[in-house]
Amino acid sequence: MARMRGLYPIVDLDTLVARAVAPLPFAEAILTARPPLLQLRAKHQSPREVLAFLSELKPRCAAIGTLLFANDRPDLALLAGADGVHVGQDDLPLSAVRRLPGKLRVGVSTHNHAQLAAALADKPDYAAFGPIFATRSKRGAEPELGIAALQRASALANAAGVPLVAIGGLTLSLARELGRLAVPAVISDLLADGAEPGAVAARAAAWQAALA
């Protein structure tokens, strides 16, 4: 994954439930843009629900070459045949995930340059850095870091040869600038033009075009 490029959409079930958006049509609309990765984030759903949705997403992602990542749960990622797992600072560490069967790809969340440097030393498949801007998609989010911090993070990741993902309050108006520094991970902005599948698909396509 050393040459990751494009949009990294996150299907966040809490966000979709709050807006009464059906998750599967939302995900299918995003996938029309053929992003390189897609993540399912389900913080407050049962393992059974998460596994079922991952299992629905996997063939849809595989059909277009999009890598499917589960948030936090390597066990559910393995059961669903997902390609990878995204872990936070308090989740199972990367070294432990790599001891599991199945050879999951692993992305790691970081919230400052010290955490990023530690993550990069372990050579994850990508390191996420943020929040870049204030975000409402995550309860109790860390303080926003800003573009200058992202620029330094980008230099660190480039030196380590690890793809960098930027997350937190990202909007389409900044896509080109962000794309020069990292792979943008987006949640709420995919709903900026409405929740109808056509509007979501168009927004995802606009992101992909801006990042091409």
What is the distance of C-alpha 126 from the center of its chain?
10
pLDDT in tens, 32-72: 999 999 999 999 999 999 999 999 999 999 999 999 999 99
Instruction: Provide the 3-class DSSP secondary structure of residue 192.
Output: coil
Q: Point out the least confidently predicted range of 9-23, 129-143, 163-177.
A: 129-143
Considering the chain, what percentage of its residues have pLDDT values greater than 90?
89
Domain hosting residue 132, numbered range? 8-211
Number of structural domains (the chain) is: 1
Q: Which pLDDT score is estimated for 141?
A: 65
Distance of CA 6 to CAs 1, 86, 161, Å?
Answer: 12, 18, 17
What pLDDT does 49 receive?
96
Going from the C-alpha of 157 to that of each of 50, 153, 206, the distances in angstroms are 31, 6, 26
Question: Tell me, what's the pLDDT at 140?
Answer: 60
State residue 137's pLDDT score: 61
137-179 pLDDT, tens digit each:
666 667 899 999 999 999 999 999 999 999 999 999 999 999 9
Q: What is the mean pLDDT of residues 95-123?
A: 95
Average pLDDT over residues 114-136: 95
Is residue 1 in a domain? no
CATH number, domain with residue 158: 3.20.20.70
Per-residue pLDDT, 102? 83
Question: How far is the C-alpha of 111 from the C-alpha of 191, rounded, in Å?
Answer: 25
- Tell whether the model's pLDDT for residue 187 goes beyond 90: yes
CA atoms within 13 A on the CB side of 2: 5
- The answer to whether position 3 is within a domain reads no
Whether residue 198 contacts residue 23, with contact meaning beta carbons closer than 8 Å, is answered with: no
E strand spans, the chain? 8-12, 37-41, 67-71, 84-87, 105-110, 126-129, 164-167, 183-186
